[in-house]
Amino acid sequence: MQTTYIETQQISFQDFKNQILEDYKLGRISREMSYLGRREVLTGKAKFGIFGDGKELPQLAMAKVFKNGDFRSGYYRDQTFALAADALTVESFFAQLYADTSVEREPASAGRQMNGHFATRSLNEDGSWKDLTAQKNISSDISPTAGQMPRLLGLAQASKIYKTVKFDGSEKFSKKGNEIAFGTIGDASTAEGHFWETLNAACALQVPMIISIWDDGYGISVPTKNQRAKADISEMLSGFQRKEGENQGCEIIQVKAWDYPALLDAYARAEHFARTESVPVVVHVIEVTQPQGHSTSGSHERYKNEERLSWESQFDGLLKFREWILNYSIEIEGKEEIIASVEELDLIDDEAKKTVKAGQKTAWESYQKTITDLIGSVLPLVENLKGQNTEIENYIGQFNKLVSKAKKDAFHLVRKSLLATRGTNSAERSQLMQKYNDIFEVEKDNYSSHLYSQSQWKAENVKEIKPTYSEASEDVDGRVVIRNNFDKIFEKYPETLVFGEDAGNIGDVNQGLEGMQEKYGDVRVADTGIREATILGQGIGMAMRGLRPIAEIQYLDYILYCLQGMSDDLATVQYRTKGGQKSPLIIRTRGHRLEGVWHSGSPMAGILNLSKGILVLVPRNLTKAAGFYNTMLQSDDPSIIVECLNGYRLKEKQPDNLGDFTVPVGQIEVTKEGKDVTLVTYGSTWRIVMEAAEELEKLGISAEVIDVQSLIPFDLTHEIAESVKKTNRLVVIDEDVEGGTSAFILQQILEKQKAFRFLDSDPLTIAANDHRPAYASDGDYFSKPSSDDMVERIYAMFNETNPQKYPAIF
């Protein structure tokens, strides 16, 4: 068990004094960073600024109990904490403010996030894990209000899991589960559902978590009294306070933001509860000031009255800290000892200003050098073209008049010059063209890399292993195939666990996990409450700590509760850290072709468009689904696997190599060959398309049926275009709404694969009606594409081209 701050031995007065002055110095540096950062924005050097001034003292106190192996999931005002945890320097703070794309200078996001969004790098350059127990860890911040909370739950629960789960390499992620997950949130954001859902789940699960609430009395301009049922969040949370002898609830500690010794005591107690008892703790930090207002977008003088502004100036944390230091004295062996004099503190203040200014200057010069080097490499080449078009000199003149130049200005000049000299075949233009290609590749990497894994473990690299069958292979229900494959997975990968509504005790609603909890225990196969957003969050956080979670969302419709976390957090983890962090979560769900408004939706278009960065896998049966699980557990990409809801009781031949066979991502399968028309579909609709294809054969139409299998990535080898080249007709069939997934598939085939070149008829999409399906089988028939719909509409394509051979039906 790790020693907690409250258990540390007494220190000498000199050490005590040094720690106090070091905190004061760091607080002053952070404050000067806020002041200078705001000025940099207002003078036009940066686009936007949001700073942590006023929160210095509580963050210094929190940092004292933050140890190697611990994780933070926070929001964008924790710069003092990041400094104290050695996750931020003055230079990297300003590099992020300027959006410097260098990972070395701005390691949190390489310029992809606005300032104040912090992260440590969990991965080596090759995408492999670092030893996370040897460093202090900050999971990459996101801006959406309270969006960081669900992930916090998973980061904390991972510690509890590591108390019992061990696997090869697990020592890089946890030291016997003694780590704490720290969360930070603004007071007004506690009005968000994600906060309540996370705290509720943490109290039920009893995980080592400390949530700090920075309470400055406002949510931008709206006072706290208008945010919640009670102005005092501690009072409102009083029902969550744990009772003696009960293994539920949390500890609640309230403390003033300007009271340094009280803050140290509060966080020492919070750490002791969380680290030694695995209890969630809420630290409600009240009377927080915000000296510069919410952000550079506005002034707090517009909504705070004179009385409030006067109070804030008097109770500024650093001012009160200074007063406390100057008033502190103690007698030791008959001699009065003080911490510092006015002159000594003034010297620290001056040094803090110099340190910050020097760091800012270094960051600005490094950032500017990137731009000047770019301009220096292209401008002479553009000038070489002046004789080839009279407009070039005008472009150069306009460029030189720019007071401040960015990369985009250099690119604009080059592209305009290439446009003006189109059709010219000269050595000078060829040189500029080559330079443009070179610099474009650099900036493509700077701004567009790592949406998906670029490591050796990316899903596309997982080799296909086909299922094998023998005479002994049985025909079983699809649910048995997926269940028995999960059995092999849990045996093969001790770091794998699954959790969700009904996933544990009853083995999920469709019995795909039947008997797994009994065999592998309730840590690895667990039931959860009805709280989809935090089921997803559990998975994100666990995966960031080296576990391989499968987060089960009971039905595809319920994914809507998760879309914010999927879109803003999971899908962007690798991108927003430029490969510095990853979360290879597998989301398990089931859907399609069920009856009734609430269990039969197909929000695939929303998933596709909102969650780029997550692989979207849509197997047509449970054997294919099992193969995708086997694939993704060898990959470090996050994914969602949509099992066919109508396939659990349908018979499939069970492979002999369960747990080993894989289905490759981005690879289609031709399930019926044909020569007249290409029918493209996926998932549950595939069975109906196959029925329709057989009917079309009777009508003299030979249909080729393609199961896309994975929507992201999509047909990496462009095999669908080859099919269209053969058949010259294309139909995309889907049970999503019109303009949904079918539009995505059509764009991929016609635009990216250029299959429009081979078409003899207009491409056709057959989709569901724009409403949810009405109840019962008749509702499904009249709401989603039926075999009759498909046959008639595809037949009509042939009637249009040859009405003699294919007379009209209606």
64-99 confidence digits (pLDDT tens): 999 999 999 998 999 999 999 999 999 999 999 999
Query: Tokens 């909890």 correspond to what residue?
Result: 517
Q: Which amino acid is at 365?
A: E
Residue 755: name the closest of 729, 717, 734, 793 by CA: 729
- Give the N- to C-terminal CA distance of the chain in Å, as an integer: 78
Q: What is the pLDDT of residue 773?
A: 87
How many percent of the chain have pLDDT more than 90? 90
Q: Is the pLDDT of residue 565 over 80?
A: yes
The answer to whether 184 and 215 are in contact (CB under 8 A) is no
Host H or E run for residue 704: strand 703-707
Residue 215: name the closest of 225, 201, 207 by CA: 225
Q: CB-side exposure of 369: number of CA atoms within 13 Å?
A: 9
Query: Tokens 């294809």 correspond to what residue?
Result: 693
Torsion 239-245-248-249 (CA) sign: positive
Q: Is the pLDDT of residue 298 over 80?
A: no
Q: d(Cα 624, Cα 629) in Å, to the nearest integer? A: 9
Residues 666-678: b if buried by 16+ CB within 10 A, e if exposed: bbbeebbebebbb
201-243 confidence digits (pLDDT tens): 999 999 999 999 999 998 888 888 899 999 999 999 999 999 9
Q: What is the DSSP string of 77-115?
A: T-HHHHHHTTS--HHHHHHHHTT---TTT-TTTTTSS-T
Residue 735: name the closest of 622, 646, 602, 637 by CA: 602
Confidence band, pLDDT 50/70/90 cuts, at residue 655: very high
Residue 687: name the closest of 599, 790, 587, 589 by CA: 790
Average pLDDT for the chain: 95
Q: What is the mean predicted confidence (pLDDT) over 270-295? A: 95
Q: What is the mean predicted confidence (pLDDT) over 512-537? A: 97
Q: What is the pLDDT of residue 2?
A: 59
What is each CA distance from 686 to 590, 681, 783, in whole angstroms? 15, 6, 17
331-386 confidence digits (pLDDT tens): 898 889 999 999 999 999 999 999 999 999 999 999 999 999 999 999 999 999 99
Q: What is the pLDDT of residue 219?
A: 87
414-426 confidence digits (pLDDT tens): 999 999 999 999 9
Q: d(Cα 487, Cα 705) in Å, to the nearest integer? A: 33
Q: d(Cα 373, Cα 566) in Å, to the nearest integer? A: 38
Confidence band, pLDDT 50/70/90 cuts, at residue 559: very high
770-787 confidence digits (pLDDT tens): 988 888 889 889 999 999
Q: d(Cα 539, Cα 302) in Å, to the nearest integer? A: 42
Q: Is the pLDDT of residue 724 over 60?
A: yes
DSSP SS3 for 274: helix
The backbone torsions φ and ψ at residue 143, rounded to the nearest 5 degrees and listed phi first, read -80, -35
Q: What is the pLDDT of residue 544?
A: 98
Torsion 417-423-424-425 (CA) sign: positive
